[in-house]
Chains A and B, each alone.
Chain A
Amino acid sequence: MRLWIVGLFVALVALLAVGLTLNPRQVPSPLIGKPAPPFELPLLHQPDKTFTQKDMLGQVWILNVWASWCPPCLVEHPVVTDLARSAPVVGLNYKDAREDALPWLARHGDPYRISVQDAAGRIAIDYGVYGVPETYVIDQKGVIRLKHIGPLTPEDANEKIRPLLKELGARG
C-alpha cells in the first residue's frame, strides 16, 4: 500500500521534472515540411525592386528574421555571419525602419545575400514569427526544413543548422 503511494509520488516528480526541462518558448512549428509561405517584398537596399521566395528555388537557403530594435539579433549576428559561409542567408527585416536598419547593417556587417523589408510584419505572420530573431532553413524545393526561435548560438549553428545544410547539400 505505502509502496505504491511512494511510486505514485516518484512518477509525479519525474513528470514535473521533465516538464521543467522543456522550454515553453520552443513551440513546435506546424510549418516544418510545408512549402515556405509565398511573399514578394521590397529589397531593403533598393525599395523599388522586389524579391520573392521563388527566386531561391533550387538552392538551400536560410531565412533570418531580424530587426535593428532587437538586442538578441545583435547577439546572434556573428553566428549568422558565420553561417552565411555555408549557405545563402536572406534577411527579413521585421517591423523596422529603413533608416534604422541600413546603419545597423553598416555598423555590424551585412551577412545577407539579399535583404527584404517586412515593415508591417504581415509576411512574418505567415511564417509564424513570434519572437525575433527567428531562423528558417528552406530546401531546394522551397520546403521549410527547420525553424529556430530566438538567437542562434554557435552550438545551434554547429549541431543543428550545419548538419542539416550538409545533409541537404547546401552551397555557400
Chain B
Amino acid sequence: MARLLFVALLGWALAAPADEAFERRVSSLAHELRCLVCQNQTIADSNAPLAVDLRNQIREQLAAGKSERDVRAFMVERYGDFVLYRPPLKVSTVLLWAGPFLLLLTGAAILLARLRRRPPEPQLSPEERARAARLLE
C-alpha cells in the first residue's frame, strides 16, 4: 500500500511538469478564443463540453511543439474568424476596426462646426456692465 502510494505520488509529481509557463501559454491562448456554444465567453471561461475539448486540443498541440499561431490557425480553419476574440483586419472587417475612429472623427467634426457657428458673445456697454455687477452683488 505504502509503495503504491509512493508510486502514485511520484507519478503525480512527474506528471505535473513544474511547467507553469506552459500552463500560462495554454490559458492565455484559451482566453483569446471564443466558445461557440456560449458565444459571449472564451473557451477559458466556459465549461461547455466543447470548450473543455478545445482547451485539451490547445494543451495537446502546444505540448506537441506547435506554436500559438498554429493553434489559432487550427481553430480558424474549423470555426472561422468568429472564433477569434481579436478579429483579423480584412476587407470584411474594416468597418469593425475603423468604425469607432470614424465615429469619433465625425463627432469631432460636428462639434468643431457647431463651435465655429456659435454667435459671438454679446458686448456690454460700461453702464450695462456696472448694472450687472450691482445685480450680482
> How many Å lie between the Cα of A25 and that of B35 in the bound state?
12
Q: Judge whether B79 is part of the interface by a CB distance below 8 angstroms.
A: yes
User: Which of A28-36, A43-51, A55-63 forms contacts with chain B?
Assistant: A28-36
> How many Å lie between the Cα of A28 and that of B78 in the bound state?
11
How many residues from B make CB contacts under 8 Å with A?
Answer: 15
Distance (whole angstroms) from the CB of A33 to the closest CB of chain B: 13
Q: When A27-B80, A30-B79, A128-B78 are in contact, do A121 and B36 touch as well, CB less than 8 Å?
A: no
A interface: dominant SS: loop
> How many Å lie between the Cα of A60 and that of B61 in the bound state?
33
Q: Contact check, A125 vs B57: say whether CB atoms are below 8 A apart.
A: yes
Q: Judge whether B54 is part of the interface by a CB distance below 8 angstroms.
A: yes
> How many Å lie between the Cα of A128 and that of B57 in the bound state?
13
Q: Judge whether A126 is part of the interface by a CB distance below 8 angstroms.
A: yes
Q: Contact check, B79 vs A24: say whether CB atoms are below 8 A apart.
A: no
Q: Contact check, A121 vs B82: say whether CB atoms are below 8 A apart.
A: no
Q: Judge whether B39 is part of the interface by a CB distance below 8 angstroms.
A: yes
Q: Contact check, B80 vs A29: say whether CB atoms are below 8 A apart.
A: yes
> How many Å lie between the Cα of A30 and that of B84 in the bound state?
13
Q: Per-position contact with B for A6-39: 1 when CB-CB < 8 Å, else 0?
A: 0000000000000000001101111100000000
Q: Judge whether B9 is part of the interface by a CB distance below 8 angstroms.
A: no
Residues of A within 8 A of B36 (CB): 27, 130-131
> How many Å lie between the Cα of A27 and that of B80 in the bound state?
8
Interface residues on chain A, size class: 10 to 19
Q: Contact check, A130 vs B37: say whether CB atoms are below 8 A apart.
A: yes
Residues of A within 8 A of B50 (CB): 121, 130
Q: Judge whether B100 is part of the interface by a CB distance below 8 angstroms.
A: no
> How many Å lie between the Cα of A127 and that of B59 in the bound state?
20
Q: Judge whether A98 is part of the interface by a CB distance below 8 angstroms.
A: no
> How many Å lie between the Cα of A31 and that of B37 in the bound state?
18
> How many Å lie between the Cα of A122 and that of B49 in the bound state?
12
Q: Judge whether A162 is part of the interface by a CB distance below 8 angstroms.
A: no
12 extra interface residue pairs, beta carbon distance < 8 Å, beyond A130-B37, A130-B79 = A24-B39, A25-B39, A27-B82, A28-B80, A28-B82, A29-B80, A30-B81, A31-B78, A121-B50, A125-B57, A127-B78, A130-B50
A residues in contact (CB < 8 Å) with B: 24-25, 27-31, 95, 121-122, 125-128, 130-131
